[in-house]
Structure 1
C-alpha cells in the first residue's frame, strides 16, 4: 500500500546558532501567468477575499483561518518556515541550549513597529506570555513556558520546563507566535484590535481603513525593516458565496480568493483567461470526528464501525473534487512532514460496509438516531450529506444539522457534537505540532482534540516524541502513537487537502499555503 521513501526529514539540533538566511522562495503552485500581458499597474489596489471578514486583530479572539488572512499582513513572528526551512523573521539569529530548555533570540536591530517605536525583547516577552496566560484556546501550547527574559533591548531568552522538538515549528504561527506592541496592548486593553487606530503593526502592512463587515484596507509600510512588499495597496473583503467569488474573479473585481476551490468552481476559473491557479499540498486533514465521551461513540466498536464505513477515495472525489491525497492517519504525507513515522499501521480499515453493519448490530444500535453537525459552508455541507448516506448505509438513522460557524464551534468545543466532518490545519509540517493535538488530553475543549479523546499512554507518547531531539527517536514514539490512534479511532483521517487558490494572472503566489500578501508578487 505504501512505497519506500527516502528519509529526508529536518532534524532540530540541540545546540545551534542559526543566522538569518535568505530563504529563497519559489511557487509551489501550478499557476500559468502566460497571459498576464504587459502594462500591469503596480500602484493599483489589489483586492483579496475569503469567506468572512476579521472582527478583531487581537490574537485572543481569532476564530478561523479567515482571520489569519488578515493577521498575517500586520504581524511578524520571530521565525517562519519557508520551503521546509526555518528562517528568521524578526529574529536575526537564535540558539537552543543542549537540553532544549532555553531558546535565545536576537531581534533585528532595525525592526520597528508602525508607530515608530523599536520592537524590543519586552514586546516579545509580553506577546508570548499573553498567549500563555490569556488566550484560553492556545495557552496549552505554552504550558511549559516558565518565562521570557528580556536580557537587553534586542535579546529575548525563553525558559521552558520541558524540551519540545516541535516548539520552533509552533512559534512560526502568527496566531500564537506573532510579536505585538506591549505599549499598545496595555494602552487599549481589551479594546486593542477592534479599530484600525488601535492596531500597531510589526509586519509589512499597516491598516489604513476598516469598515465593519465590508472591508479592511492595508498599505505597505515604508519603514518596514524587511523587504518591502510588491503590492503597495491591498483590500480584504468577505465573499462567503463561492459562486459570487468566481464571478468576481472573472470580472476582475477580485484579484485573489484565499478559500480553496474545487469542483465546478475550480473548473470554471481554470477556463478563464485572466485567472491563474496556485496549488499546494497541505497538512489540513479532512476527518470525521466522533465524540469519545458521547453515549454512542464512547464504545470503540462504534468508532471502528464508522472507520470501516468510510470510503476515503469517494469522500475525496465527491466532497473534495479530487483535490487532495488520501491518508491512513493524520498528516500521512511521507517525508514532507518532519517526524512522520511513514508506515502502515498493524490495524487499518479498508472500506467494508458489511463489517461496519455487523459492529453496529453487535452494539445494539441498528436504527439508532445520530446527528451530524457541521458548518453551513463548504466543504462541510457536502461532507455532512455524504456522511449521512454513509451512516445510513450501516443501519444508523443519520440526521444533519448545519449551522453558522461560531455556533458550531461553541457546540464542538463544549462536547455537544456526536459526530462531525471537520479539519485541523497546521502550517509547520511537523508531526508533533500537527498530529499530537488530535490525541492530547490537554486539548479537550480546545482546538485539535475535537473527539475529546483521553488516554494517558497517548499523552505520554506525545510528550516523549516532542521531547526527543533525534528525529528517528521521534518517529519511533509517533509510530506507537499512531498504532493507538488506529486501534482507538478518535477520528477518521480521510484526506489531506490540496489548496487550489485562484488569483489574477497578473499575480504570482510564492506559496499557496501561506496567507502573507507580502509573498504575492506582480507577474512582471
Structure 2
C-alpha cells in the first residue's frame, strides 16, 4: 500500500483559514480548538438590541460535524463513514483498532488532566459546543447547531441540538453547559489553567432556555469563541454530586460524555478500551472498539505491529527511515507522514528560578552548545526542522525573521564567562559563588525526561556530552509520566526535555505569562518578563489580524532573546497503519478514527 501524506491539502486549509480570518468583522477568534469565520446574516439580540452575526453555515446539519467528510446536508446517515446512500460497496461495521501509546495518562478527569494522552480520549468520548473542522480549520457545529457573536465581540449565544444526548441517553441541555463552567470556576477543583482563562475573560454564562446559552465577555479576546465553545461539556447528572476532593482524586478512571465512543475499561499499566457508543445521537463509528495499549519500548511496538498484535504505531525515527518504503510495510500496511498545527515542538526547559539558570546569558550559552541540526540529522534521521519560538512554524504567528542561535561552543564559552562562570578549582567543572561565602557552586544540572521514548535517552546522552566539554556536569534522570508531571507541577526540576502540542494560532499566556508561573499554572520554568507580559496582554485583545501578528512576533523575539527554553524542532506526525483499514483520510488537522472501517473479509477482531 502507498504512503499517505498531506501537503497541498494542508496548505490549502491554511489559506482558507487566513481568508476566513479576514471577514466582515475583521475579527479573529481562533485557538487550540476553534477558529471563527465571518459568514452570513445579521440579526438583533432581543436582550439588548445589539447587532449579532449569525454563524449558521450548515443549517441542515442534524448532528455534530467534526469532519467535512461527514454529511452536513440533512441526508439520512447511520455511520460516520458516509451518508447511507453513499457508503462504499466494501463497507461493513465491526472489528477493533489497536493503537499504541508510549506512556499512560495519570488521570482521565476532565480539566484536571493536562497531558496529551488524556486529550485523545476526550476527543472520542466528550464533545464541545463547536469543533474545528479537520479540513478547513474553520468552526463547525458540535453540540451547538449554530451561534451568534455580537458586533462588538462581547456576547456569544449558542443554540444546542435538541436531540443531543449523553451516552446513557440523558439529554444534553443548557443546564449541563452552565454546570461545566461552574465546575471549572470552583476554586476547589484542580483546574487552574482552564479556570485562569475563563476567569480572566468571561463575565457570565446564562441559560436563556433549555437549549440556548449566552456568554458575556469581560473584554475583547481573540479566543472568545474558543473558551466559550471549545471546552468539553460534562453531564451534570453524573458529575454534579461529586465533592471537589472526590472529583479531583477519586474519579480518575471516569470519563463520561456525549461523544461517539464510551470508556469501557482502563486496565492500569496495560490498556484503555473504548467501545462504540450505541446511544450516540449522530452517525456512529463503524468500528466496535478502539484500544490504546501502553508499550514504552519502541522496538516492542514495532515487533507487535509486524506480528499483527497492534494496528497503529508511531515509529521511531530509525524505524521510519528503515521501513517507510520497505516491501515489508507494503505488504503489512501503509505509512503516514504529515505536519499539523497540533504537532507542536520539542524543547529543553530550564527552571529559571534556580540561580544557576536565572541568567539569560547562561541559557543562551546552553542553547549554543547543542548542534540542533546534528541532532535532527543523526538522532532523528533528518526528521524535523529547527524552530526559534513557540508558535506553529508554518503559520503567520511564527516570526520568520528570527535566526536560530547558532551551534557555537566558543561563543557559548564567552557567554558563560560573562555570566560569571569559571573553573576556580581546576577540576574541569565550572563554578560560581551565588551566596557570597567564597565557595563556588559547581555547574551541575539534573536533566529529567519522561520514560518511554527511544529518542529521549539518546538525546540526554548527547546533551550531557556536549555540556561536559564546556565544563558542565549533567546527571541523567527519567520518570514515568505521572511522576514526571507531578515534578513539573511542583516545579521540582532543573532541566527537562518535553514537547508542547500546538494550534493554528495559539495563546502563549498559559505557558509564558508571569501569572502562570505559580499556582499550578503551565509556566513550569518560572519565566517572568514584564515586557513579554505586556505584549501578550495587548495581543490577546487585539482583533485586527495583522496588528496581532506583529505583537506575536515581538513575543517570539523576546522569548528567543531570553531563551527560557532551548527551542529544538517541529514534530511531524508519522505512523504505520495496518492495511485492512479503509477510509483513512489525511485531514490537515489530524486523523479521525470514527470514519475508518474494515471490509468484512478483512476483519480479524
> 2:444 aligned with 1:369, yes or no?
yes
Q: 1:409 to 1:510 in 2, by over 3 A?
A: same
Q: Residues 49-73 of structure 1, C-alpha deviation per residue, up to 9 Å, x if partnerless?
A: 2123446432144242222232222
Which residue pairs with 2:367 in the alignment? 307
Tell me how far apart the structure 2 counterparts of residues 89 and 287 of structure 1 sit (CA, whole Å).
33
CA deviations over 1:453-485 (Å, ceiling 9, x no partner): 112221121121111111101111112212211
Partner of 2:577: 503
The structure-2 alpha-carbon separation of the partners of 1:512 and 1:266, relative to structure 1 and needing over 3 Å to count, comes to: farther
Deviation larger for 448-457 or 298-307: 448-457
**155, 163, 179: which one aligns with 1:102:** 155
Q: Secondary structure at the match of 2:357?
A: coil
Residue in 2 that maps onto 1:281? 339
Q: How many residues align?
A: 498
Query: Structure 2 length normalisation: TM-score?
Result: 0.75
Q: CA separation of 1:143/1:266 partners in 2, compared to 1, >3 Å: closer, same or farther?
A: farther
Secondary structure of residue in 1 paired with 2:470? coil
Distance change >3 Å, CA 486–CA 95, structure 1 → 2: same
Contact preservation (8 Å) 2:108, 2:254: no
Number of the residue aligned with 2:118: 67
With over 3 angstroms needed to count, the CA separation of the structure-2 counterparts of 1:302 and 1:53, relative to structure 1, is: closer
Q: CA deviation at 1:100?
A: 2.4
Picking from 294, 297, 322, the partner of 2:354 is: 294
Structure 2 distance, partners of 1:148, 1:44, is 42
d(CA) in 2 for partners of 1:389, 1:168: 47
From 403, 414, 419, the equivalent of 2:490 is: 414
SS in 2 for 1:315: helix
Matches of 1:53 and 1:341 in 2, distance apart? 32
Tell me, what secondary structure is at the counterpart of 1:43? coil
TM-score between both structures, scaled by the size of structure 1: 0.86
Are 2:266 and 2:272, in contact at CA under 8 Å, matched by a contact in 1? Answer: yes
Structure 1 residue 106 displacement after superposition: 1.3
1:198 shift after superposition = 5.6
Inter-partner Cα distance in structure 2 for 1:477 and 1:205: 41
Alignment gaps of 5+ in structure 1: 27-37
Change (3 A) 1:359 1:56: closer
The farther-off stretch of 110-119 and 445-454 is 445-454
Preserved CA contact (<8 Å) 1:285 1:424:
yes
- Residues 214, 78 of structure 1: CA spacing in aligned structure 2 closer, same or farther, 3 A cutoff? same
Deviations 1:397-424 (A, max 9, x none): 2222222223322222323322222211
Larger-Rg structure: 2
Q: Residue 352 of structure 1 aligns with which residue?
A: 408
Q: Which among 140, 157, 165 is matched to residue 196 of structure 2?
A: 140
Q: Which residue of 1 aligns with 2:220?
A: 163
The 3 A distance-change label for structure 1 pair 462 and 24 is same
Q: Distance in 2 between matches of 1:168 and 1:319?
A: 41
SS at match of 1:138: helix
- Separation of aligned partners in 2, 1:20 and 1:225: 21
Between the aligned partners of 2:598 and 2:543, the Cα distance in structure 1 is 41
1:466 is matched with: 540
For the 8 Å contact 1:16–1:96, the answer to whether it is kept is yes
Q: Deviations over 1:426-472 (max 9, x none)?
A: 2x3213x2x44342122224464232111222112112111111110
Distance 1:471 1:163, change over 3 A: same
Q: Name the structure where strand makes up a greater proportion of residues.
A: 1
Q: 1:237 aligns with which of 293, 307, 310?
A: 293
Cα 1:520–1:137, aligned 2, differ >3 Å: closer, same or farther? farther
Contact 1:372 1:400 in 2 (8 A): yes
Alignment correspondent of 2:40: none
